[in-house]
């Protein structure tokens, strides 16, 4: 019987993960950021196609990097992160949106939405299973979530079944998944399913593979989760009004140039320093509206710099609190916890997506223009109704809004790429996914633009659909600003 792969040294694992993050992810993130700026300029069709190919290649490299990072951590037998509350509906929507093809989701009506557990392992495992399904099943997949038995106290057993539309996995891959032990595959193309199996084990469950009677394959992930109580309402932090003077703490010169161009395009002023000590000194001098703080710096790191700034505020050396947002390519749950525990107010992943950067900065700068656009772009009454439907769980709605805003740039880009490539099913799937989530949060202008795109694509008129893209871009930008401002101002 084959044995489990041996664990690797924990120190070597940390070095390898760090090398992948700093040596691969960071430069790729910078390249994607510059590609986004280039895509916003006046390009002809051939130039835009080249940019899209560059983005697709970089995305593929990032996916490989993420898989390698996960594999190293699994082989190093790192401790699982502590259980955290998550919304099952949001998680499934994120998985479907990440794959970008036709994904149908069905959830048993008795399954609770609020759960507690290792959401990151579940999200990654399902993403791998759905990706495999669309690759082997004509770009379509179905995700069904069912109960595996009656709930036991606060625990519930769930089965996540992912089915493709055929012809499904080859027989040798089915046999490999049916084996008692997970063996490292010799073919790197099979790494995704290997990771899914190991992640299922990390969740305390198992992965089951079977051939469907009508053709195709069904892969089922079985695991148990705890039901989670509603989170208490969170107090909205105070925000300063007016234009922003931004301090960027970043030791990578390429990232500094990218941030400078992005913030200039957004109409903000930027100063930059390359170390944590210089960041503390600059904030103590005063005058900054927000700090964008890199996590890894050559002297003291961003977490320590944030602690020193908060200590200066506590002992009166600073007269007001300066918002600090972490910016890093090391987007792990532990890293987020450390940054927030040090007193940071938010967390941005590299590359600094310009749409997400705009909405994040808007949350710290309520503007009259954003307030005047509520009636046009966002139905705040829908947010109020959503709060009521979730039993006054304002923190849950705020979490939903953060998820929507963080996904908005990627979903918008998915619609753009599908329309540019003339891909019928991806265009319909991407536009419908964005439309549905926009209706949920009351983003009426985004939903309206998506509906026009859906009507045109459904009629086979890609020219008219592409002509609606500027409307979609404007709607996304305005909506992100309005929602961020409403959330930060405690309007929910």
State the DSSP string of 13-75.
Answer: HHHHHHHHIIIIIHHHHHHHHHHHHHHTS---HHHHHHHHHHHHHHHHHHHHHHHHHHHHHHH
The answer to whether 394 and 429 have CB atoms below 8 angstroms apart is no
Per-residue model confidence as pLDDT tens digits over 368-423: 333 333 334 777 666 666 666 666 667 777 777 777 887 787 778 888 878 877 77
pTM metric for this prediction? 0.47
230: left (phi over 0), alpha (psi -120 to 50) or beta: beta
The answer to whether 117 and 225 have CB atoms below 8 angstroms apart is yes
The answer to whether 274 and 298 have CB atoms below 8 angstroms apart is yes
Longest dimension (CA), the chain: 71
The answer to whether 352 and 254 have CB atoms below 8 angstroms apart is no
- pLDDT, position 257: 73
| Other residues' Cβ atoms within 10 Å of the Cβ of residue 437 | 23
Q: Is 183 helix (H, G, I), strand (E, B) or coil?
A: coil
- pLDDT, position 19: 62
Task: Indicate whether 270 pLDDT > 70.
Answer: yes
Q: Who wins on pLDDT, 356 or 267? A: 267
The CATH superfamily of 374-488 is HPT domain (1.20.120.160)
The CATH superfamily of 245-352+359-364 is Response regulator (3.40.50.2300)
d(CA 131, CA 67): 13
- pLDDT, position 189: 58
β partners of residue 117:
84
**H/E segment holding residue 158:** strand 155-164
Q: Phi and psi (nearest 5°) for 485? A: -65, -45
Mean pLDDT score, 432-453: 82
Q: CA torsion, points 77, 83, 183, 178, in degrees to nearest 10?
A: 160
Burial 65-76, CB ≥16 within 10 A → b, else e: bbbbbbbbbbbb
Query: Closest by alpha carbon to 292, among 261, 331, 263, 254?
Result: 263
Question: How large is the angle between the packed helices 171-178 and 191-202, nearest 10 degrees?
Answer: 20
Average pLDDT over the chain, rounded to whole? 75
Residue 173 pLDDT class (50, 70, 90 cuts): confident
N-term to C-term CA, the chain:
57
* CA distances to 188, 406, 460 from 453, in Å: 38, 22, 10
Task: Indicate whether 240 pLDDT > 50.
Answer: no
Query: Closest by alpha carbon to 80, among 199, 170, 171?
Result: 199
Task: Indicate whether 290 pLDDT > 80.
Answer: yes
d(CA 371, CA 469): 24
Residue 18 pLDDT class (50, 70, 90 cuts): low
Task: Indicate whether 291 pLDDT > 90.
Answer: yes
Per-residue model confidence as pLDDT tens digits over 325-384: 888 776 666 677 777 778 887 777 776 767 667 767 766 654 333 333 333 477 766 666
- pLDDT, position 121: 86
* CA distances to 44, 69, 73, 122 from 78, in Å: 48, 12, 6, 16
Burial 442-470, CB ≥16 within 10 A → b, else e: bbbbbbbbbbbbbebbeeeebeebbebbe
Q: Who wins on pLDDT, 424 or 161? A: 161
Mean pLDDT score, 222-232: 76
The answer to whether 382 and 364 have CB atoms below 8 angstroms apart is no
Per-residue model confidence as pLDDT tens digits over 109-158: 888 888 888 888 888 888 888 887 877 666 677 888 888 877 677 888 89
- pLDDT, position 182: 55
How many DSSP H helices and E strands does the chain contain? 20, 12
Residue 239 pLDDT class (50, 70, 90 cuts): very low
- pLDDT, position 123: 86
- pLDDT, position 373: 34
Task: Indicate whether 269 pLDDT > 80.
Answer: yes
β partners of residue 245:
269
For 84-227, CATH gives: 3.30.565.10
d(CA 272, CA 260): 9
């Amino acid at each position: 019987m084959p044995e489990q792969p041996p664990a690797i040294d924990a120190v070597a694992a940390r070095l390898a993960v760090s090398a992948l993050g700093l040596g691969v992810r960071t430069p790729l993130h910078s390249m994607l950021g510059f590609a986004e700026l280039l895509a916003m300029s006046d390009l002809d069709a051939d130039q835009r196609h080249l940019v899209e190919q560059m983005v697709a290649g970089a995305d593929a490299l990032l996916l490989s990097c993420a898989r390698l990072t996960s594999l190293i951590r699994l082989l190093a037998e790192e401790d699982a992160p502590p259980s955290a509350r998550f919304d099952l509906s949001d998680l499934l929507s994120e998985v479907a949106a990440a794959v970008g093809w036709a994904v149908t989701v069905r959830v048993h009506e008795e399954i609770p939405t609020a759960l507690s557990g290792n959401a990151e392992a579940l999200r990654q495992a399902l993403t791998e299973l759905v990706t495999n399904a669309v690759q082997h099943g004509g770009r379509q997949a179905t995700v069904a979530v069912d109960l595996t038995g009656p709930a036991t106290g606060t625990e519930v057993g769930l089965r996540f079944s992912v089915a493709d539309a055929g012809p499904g996995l080859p027989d040798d891959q089915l046999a490999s998944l049916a084996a008692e032990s997970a063996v490292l595959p010799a073919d790197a193309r099979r790494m995704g399913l290997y990771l899914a199996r190991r992640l299922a084990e990390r969740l305390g469950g198992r992965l089951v593979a079977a051939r469907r009677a009508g053709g195709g394959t069904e892969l089922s992930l079985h695991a148990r989760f705890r039901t989670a109580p509603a989170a208490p309402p969170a107090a909205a932090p105070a925000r300063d009004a007016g234009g922003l003077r931004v301090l960027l703490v970043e030791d990578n010169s390429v990232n500094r140039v990218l941030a400078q161009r992005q913030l200039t395009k957004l109409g903000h002023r930027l100063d930059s320093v390359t170390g944590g000590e210089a960041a503390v000194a600059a904030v103590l001098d005063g005058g900054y509206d927000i700090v964008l703080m890199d996590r890894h710096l050559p002297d003291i790191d961003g977490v320590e710099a944030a602690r020193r700034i908060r200590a200066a505020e506590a002992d009166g050396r600073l007269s007001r609190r300066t918002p600090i947002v972490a910016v890093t390519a090391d987007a792990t749950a532990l890293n987020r916890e450390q940054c927030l525990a040090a007193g940071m107010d938010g967390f941005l992943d590299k590359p600094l997506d310009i749409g997400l950067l705009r909405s994040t900065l808007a949350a710290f700068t309520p503007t009259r223009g954003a307030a005047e656009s509520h009636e046009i772009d966002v139905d705040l009454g829908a947010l109020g109704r959503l709060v009521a439907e979730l039993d006054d769980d304002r923190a849950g709605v705020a979490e939903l809004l953060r998820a929507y805003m963080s996904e908005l740039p990627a979903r918008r880009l998915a619609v753009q790429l599908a329309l540019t490539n003339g891909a019928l099913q991806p265009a319909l799937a991407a536009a419908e996914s964005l439309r549905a989530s926009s209706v949920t949060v009351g983003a009426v202008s985004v939903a309206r633009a998506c509906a026009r795109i859906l009507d045109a694509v459904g009629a086979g008129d890609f020219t008219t659909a592409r002509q609606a893209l500027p409307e979609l871009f404007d709607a996304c930008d305005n909506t992100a600003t309005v929602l961020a401002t409403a959330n930060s101002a405690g309007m929910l």
